[in-house]
Amino acid sequence: MKNYKKFLVLSIVSSMLIMSCSNGGSSVNASTDSTSETGGNDGSAVNVKSKVLMELFTSTTCGPCLPQNTKLNQYLDPTSSVYAEDLADDWIVLRYHVWWPSAGDPYYDWNTAPVINREAYYDVGYVPHMYTQGWTDSGGSAPTWRTNARAAVDGVSPFNVQLTGTRDGYNISGNVTVASAGDVNNLGFKLYVAVTHDNSQYSAPNGQVIFDQTFIDFLTLDSSSGSVSYGEPLNLGVGETYTKSYNWTLDDNWPNDSNVSWSVEELTLVAFVQFDGTGPNQKKIFQVEALSFD
C-alpha cells in the first residue's frame, strides 16, 4: 500500500506539472501580487511558477551564525553590492531561533513548541543550518544558500497560493487561498501559515544587532493523528480551491525582552504547501507566498 501511495503521489505531481516597542500604528490593507503562471495570473488552478522557501535555523548565541546571517542579509538587501536581484521577487526566508549552543535567545524563548517541532522534523543538528524547499539540505554556508535558491527558482508548481489581509494595530486578519491543478486528496499535502518579523534590534551575544524574517508563530495546527503538526491537511480535487481565514493578534510584549526594540509595522505572513508523505518528494515544499504588512 505504501509503495502504491508513493507511485500515486509521483504520478499526480508529474501530471500536474505537465499540465522598545512602538504603538499599534494605523490600519494597513495588503494582498499578494499574482504569481507568474504558465496559464494565467488570476489565482485559478493552473500550473504556476514556484517561489522558493528557505528555512534557516539560527541562534543569537551562535558565533558562526553571525557571518552567515550577515551575508544572507546582504543578498537580500537592494543596496548591497552582492544583492541577489535575480532572486528578489521569488526568494522567501523564514528564520527559526533555537535553544543552542547556549540558552537565552529571546526569539526562541517566546514560543518554543513550534520551533522544537520544526527542528525535530528536519533533524537539524547544528546551526546555522538551512533547508531549501524542505527537501534540500543547504548546510551552513550563505553562498551555498544562494546557489541552492538559484537552482530552485525556476520550478513549476501545481499549487497557486494567494494572500490578502489587513493589519489593524497588533492584529492581522484575512485569507489564504490555495488552488490546485490536480487531485491531491489524501496524498499528504499540508498547508502551513507562519508569522514573521523584520528589522528588530537586539545586541545579541554573538554580535548580531538586526534580525529579519524572525519566526513568531504558526497560525495552522493539526493534532488529529495524535501527534502535533503545525501544517493542516490540504485535500483538493482538480481545479478546487481552499480558503483559510486567519485572525491573529501579536502580544505587544513580544519577545518579552526589554533589550529588543521593534515595530509592529514589520510583520509578514508566510504560507506554504509541503508534502508530508514518503518517497522522493518527502518534505518537498511545492509553493510558498508571503504578504508584508509594512
Confidence at residue 24, expressed as pLDDT on a 0 to 100 scale: 54
C-alpha span between 260 and 97 (Å, rounded)? 15
Number of domains into which the chain is organized: 1
How high is the pLDDT of residue 7?
40
Q: In this predicted structure, what is the pLDDT of residue 289?
A: 98
What is the Cα–Cα distance from 54 to 92, expressed in whole angstroms? 6
User: For position 225, what pLDDT does the model report?
Assistant: 83
Mean pLDDT (10-residue bins), the chain, 294 residues: 45 45 59 51 65 98 98 97 96 98 98 98 98 98 98 94 97 98 96 98 98 98 91 96 98 98 97 94 97 94
Distance of CA 2 to the CA centre of its chain: 29
Query: What is the Cα–Cα distance from 121 to 230, expressed in whole angstroms?
Result: 11
**Range(s) of the domain holding residue 207:** 2-292
CATH assignment at residue 101: 3.40.30.10
Classified as helix, coil or strand, 155 is: coil
Return the C-alpha cell found at 215. 519566526
